[in-house]
Amino acid sequence: MEKEDGGMDTKPSVKLKKRIFDIIQIGQRGDFISRAFDVFISVVIGVNILVMLLETFDQLERYMPVLRAIELITILIFCVEYILRIWTAEYLYPGESRIKSVGKFLRSFDGLIDLGTILPFFFLSGFVAFRMLRVVRIFHLFRLNATYDSFNVITSVLYNRRNQIISSVFIIFILILAASLGMYSAEHEAQPEVFKNAFSGVWWSVSTILTVGYGDMYPVTVLGKIMAIIIAMLGVGVVAIPTGIISAGFVTEYSQMQRMASDDAKRSMSVLVAEKGSSFDGAKVGDVESLYNMQITLIIRDGEVVVPTNDTRIFSQDTICYQNETLEIK
pLDDT, position 83: 92
This prediction has a pTM of 0.57
The whole-angstrom distance between residue 322's C-alpha and the CA centroid of its chain comes to 25
Instruction: Give the pLDDT confidence score for residue 7 in this predicted structure.
Output: 41
Q: Is the pLDDT of residue 266 over 70?
A: no
Tell me: do 58 and 83 sit in the same domain: yes
Ranges 92-106, 180-194, 278-292: which has the least confidence: 278-292
Same domain membership, residue 198 and residue 239? yes
Residues 24 and 61 reside in one and the same domain: yes
Largest interatomic CA distance in the chain: 85
Single residue among 122, 146, 170 that ends a domain in this structure: 146
pLDDT in tens, 221-257: 999 899 888 888 888 888 788 888 888 888 887 776 6
* Confidence band of 86 (pLDDT split at 50, 70, 90): very high
Judged by DSSP in three states, 8 sits in: strand
Same domain? For 99 and 187 the reply is: no
Confidence bin at 92 (pLDDT 50/70/90): confident
Does residue 91 sit in the same domain as residue 192?
A: no
Domain assignment present for 113: yes
Confidence of residue 2 (pLDDT cuts 50, 70, 90): very low
- 154 domain residue, yes or no: no
Which of 99, 122, 146 corresponds to the end of one domain? 146
Q: What is the DSSP string of 270-327?
A: EEEEPPTTSSSTT-BHHHHHHHHT-EEEEEEETTEEE---TTPBP-TT-EEEEE-TT-
Helix 162-187 and helix 222-261: axis angle, to 10°? 170
The pLDDT value given to residue 132? 58
- What pLDDT score was predicted for residue 8? 44
| Residue ranges making up the domain that contains 303 | 269-323
Q: Is residue 330 part of a domain?
A: no
Q: Which residue has the higher pLDDT, 262 or 202?
A: 202
CB atoms within 10 A of CB 241: 16
pLDDT greater than 70 at residue 326 = no
For range 258-263, the mean pLDDT: 62
Q: Are residues 141 and 164 in the same domain?
A: no
Average pLDDT across the chain, whole number? 77
137 and 69 together in one domain? yes
Among residues of the chain, what percentage have pLDDT more than 70? Answer: 78
Judge if 173 and 215 occupy the same domain.
yes
The percent of residues in the chain predicted with pLDDT above 90, rounded, is 5
328 occurs within a structural domain: no
User: What's the average model confidence in pLDDT over 11-30?
Assistant: 76
Q: Is 329 inside a domain boundary?
A: no
CATH of the domain at 137: 1.20.120
Instruction: Please report, for the domain that includes residue 304, its CATH number.
Output: 3.30.70.1450
pLDDT band at 284 (very low <50, low <70, confident <90, very high): confident
Q: What is the mean pLDDT of residues 281-293?
A: 79
d(CA 165, CA 169): 6
> Is the CB of residue 324 less than 8 Å from the CB of residue 292?
yes
Lowest mean pLDDT among 142-146, 237-241, 292-296, 308-312: 142-146
Question: 91 and 189 in one domain?
Answer: no
Q: Are residues 16 and 96 in the same domain?
A: yes
Provide the pLDDT for residue 80.
Answer: 92
pLDDT score of 289: 81
For the segment 99-107, the average pLDDT, to the nearest whole number, is 89
The pLDDT value recorded for residue 84 is: 92
Q: What is the number of domains present in the chain?
A: 3
CA-to-CA dists, residue 271 to 153, 288, 317, 323, angstroms: 22, 14, 12, 9
**Predicted confidence (pLDDT) per residue in 128-184, tens digit:** 555 555 566 566 556 555 555 556 677 778 888 888 889 888 988 888 888 888 888
Please indicate, yes or no, if residue 153 is contained in any of the structural domains: no
Mean pLDDT of 301-329: 70
What pLDDT was estimated at residue 6? 40
> Would you give the distance in Å from CA 50 to the centre of its chain?
20
- In-domain check, residue 155: no
Let me know whether 45 and 92 are in one domain.
yes
Residue 30 above 80 pLDDT? no
pLDDT at site 133: 58
Let me know whether 98 and 56 are in one domain.
yes
| Residue 49 within any structural domain of the chain | yes
Question: Which of 118, 146, 174 is the last residue in one of the domains?
Answer: 146
Distance CA(107)–CA(112), nearest Å, equals 6
Phi and psi, residue 222, nearest 5°: -65, -45
